[in-house]
Each structure stands twice: as C-alpha cells, then as structure tokens.
Amino acid sequence: MTCRAERISEISEWAWKVYRIHAGIIICNEKGILHVPVLFHGCERFPHAGSRRRQAGGAVKIGVFGGTFNPVHLGHLINAQYLLGEYSLDRIVFVPAREPVHKPLEGGATAEDRFRMLELAVRGNGAFEVSRIELDRETPSYTVITLGEIGRRYGNDGIHLIIGADSYRQLDTWKDYRSILAEARVIVMRRPGEVIDKDLYPDREAFLFAANPLIDISSRGIRAAVRTGAPVRYLVPDGVLEYIKEKGLYAN
C-alpha cells in the first residue's frame, strides 16, 4: 500500500509523521511505521455516517457531546467523527459548559473563548454543531436539563448522550441521573488507561460502549504545553491554535 507522508513538528521527544490512507490513518515515527493500535486501538477504519443514513421518516439521531472543551482538541473531533458513523448519527451537538458542576475551570479561558474555539474547530463539517444552550443559562450546567431542552428541539426519540469512561464511572453522582437514562441512550467512549465495567449500573441496556480510537491528547496537557512554550500544533485544529495565540490563552 502506498501513501504520502506529511511532515509534522515534534511532539514531546518524537518527530511524528502522519500517513493518510483511504479509510484511516497510520501513525509513524522517524524509525518507521508503528502499528495503528499504538494510538488508535481497534480502529483502523473509520465508518462514514453518510453510508448509513437513517431511513425516511425515522427519528433524527442526535449525539450530545458536552464538556468544558478547554480547549477543544483533535481527540474530541476524531472521536466525534467516529461516533457519527458507528451509531449512524445525523448530527453531533457540542455543548460547552458555562459553569461545570464536576470539575473547576482552569487556564483563564472564558466561556466565550471556549465557544469560539469550538466554532473554529467544527467549521466546514456540516454534521457538527455548537450550541450555546448552557452558556446562555444562568444556572449550573446540569446535563438532565440540557437533554430535556435538546429533546424538545429535535425530538426525544433519537437523543444520544456522549460521555467518556471517567464520567461513566461517576454518572450516579450526576443530578437526576436516572432521568438522564430515561431521556437518552448513553454512548460511553474509551479513554487511555481507563477500564470500563459494563455492569456498573443495573440499566445496562441504556448504555452503548463505543470502540472509539484511543487518542492520548488532553486539554490539561495542552494547557501545560502552552504555558511552558512547548508546541501544540497537530494537537488542536489550526484555527484554534491561532485563536489561543491571538488571545494569549493558557500562557500563565
């Protein structure tokens, strides 16, 4: 199989190259090709949502992807695109939290900064949308309220809440979590280093466990890199990188 290499700047101590191939991506370092599962365990091919569109008259299938997105990075986007295809979703709505309940905000980026970075990140992808639904709400960002509002907009039948394995473990601490399970199917994404207990909750049929790529990029790591002057190119979309530089985000 032939492929064209594009040079990428150094990430930590390695000089990585990305080789784009038909339906997937192979990651290599300067010593040669590394097997795809090093970063993309079990996900050598990405399904395409367009190949499995919903039947006429069926429910609109919406993925609701909440978080602080502080900042949004390529791991968020790659996994969202993967889930779009794996579960034949019609749209993924990114919902940045105004006032997150379960973790503090760090780095000095405002809610509007995080919203704008998401807009820049999803620009050009017609299946991705960014919602202000929590930013314009004065109360804390409770998921159960957000799902109810999104359900009224799109219809309740096709709502899928997207969470990571860490949030899955803590779901029973969320406000009215049983109402969340009544409002939506919950898609649980794998994360590097996390082991998922699929029998953690008695309502197992409410959960879908994704075989998404394992991409070891974190918003915290990006903030730390910016603060120390380390490169973050190819960890965030170019538009987001330019916005971080222009606004001086995460520098202190």
Q: What is the CATH number of the domain that holds 237?
A: 3.40.50.620
CA dist 32 and 211 (Å) reads 26
Residue 19 DSSP class: E
Place of tokens 């985000």: 249
Range 185-194 average pLDDT: 95
Residue 74 in any domain: the answer is: yes
**Least confident stretch, 52-61, 86-95, 186-195:** 52-61
- Of 169 and 14, the one with more pLDDT: 169
pTM above the 0.75 mark? Answer: yes
In-domain check, residue 11 = no
Q: Which two tokens stand for residue 15?
A: 């000089």
Instruction: Tell me if 160 is assigned to some domain.
Output: yes
- Give the burial class of 190: count Cβ atoms within 10 A of its Cβ; 0-12 exposed, 13-18 middle, 19 or more buried: buried
Per-residue model confidence (pLDDT) at position 24: 39
Task: Compute the mean pLDDT over every residue in the chain, rounded to the nearest whole number.
Answer: 81
Angle at 177 between CA 172 and CA 182, to 5 degrees: 135
What's the order of all strands across the beta sheet hosting 24-29? 5-11, 14-21, 24-29, 32-33
At residue 141, the pLDDT reads: 81
Mean pLDDT of the region 136-153: 90
Task: Tell me what pLDDT residue 172 has.
Answer: 96
Q: How confident is the model at residue 216 (pLDDT cuts 50, 70, 90)?
A: very high
pLDDT level of residue 154 (50, 70, 90 thresholds) = confident
Is 70 exceeded by the pLDDT of residue 49?
no
pLDDT category at 102 given cuts 50, 70, 90 is: low
The Cα 228–Cα 52 span in angstroms is 44
Q: State residue 109's pLDDT score.
A: 93
- Which domain covers residue 76, as residue numbers? 50-247
Q: Is residue 61 part of a domain?
A: yes
The C-alpha torsion from 67 through 64 and 154 to 112, rounded to 10°, is 20
Mean pLDDT, range 119-135, rounded to an integer? 97
- Residue 10 covered by a domain: no
* Residue 242 falls inside a structural domain: yes
Q: How many domains does the chain have?
A: 1
**Contact (Cβ atoms closer than 8 angstroms) between residue 156 and residue 59:** no
In a domain? residue 88: yes
Q: Is residue 5 part of a domain?
A: no
